[in-house]
Amino acid sequence: MDLTTVRHTVELDWEPGSPVGAACLAVAEYVFTTSGVTHLTFGRLRGLISGNGVELSERDLVSVAGYLCRDDLKILKVGFEFIDENDEIFPLSQTDVNEANRAEIFPHPITGEPVPEFKEQIFMFFEPGV
């Protein structure tokens, strides 16, 4: 999908003047026009969006991310990472996160020891899906 098609889709899906629609366009344009984009957190998305003059609630920010991850758009794709007490970053799969949540235990990727309060150390991020 190219940026022109994305613009058209967003314009069809969102009311004119919609802050969420404007935010979706701002993020999509950034992803398509900026080389080397590899890791976007919710904080980074908020910064991109507010830099375009749009302020969103947390709920609307999540809506933007979800919209841009849709199968028919694939502007963004979801990733997960675990950041340990030494600030080491370990990529996780969706399966890893689902299993940890289901079992209510997460073993440290190196030591295998259960990580207390692991949910506070697992983060969602986004990367370009295009």
pTM recorded for the entire structure: 0.88
Contact indicator for 122, 107 with CB cutoff of 8 Å: no
The domains found in the chain, sorted by start residue, are 3-76 (1.10.10), 78-128 (no CATH)
Residue 84: how many CB atoms within 10 A of its CB? 15
| Distance in Å from the first CA to the final CA of the chain | 7
Greatest alpha-carbon pair distance for the chain in Å reads 52
From first to last of its 130 residues, the chain has per-residue pLDDT tens of 899 999 999 999 999 999 999 999 999 999 999 999 999 999 999 999 999 999 999 999 999 999 999 999 999 999 999 999 999 999 999 999 999 999 999 999 999 999 999 999 999 999 999 7
CA distance 52 to 50: 5
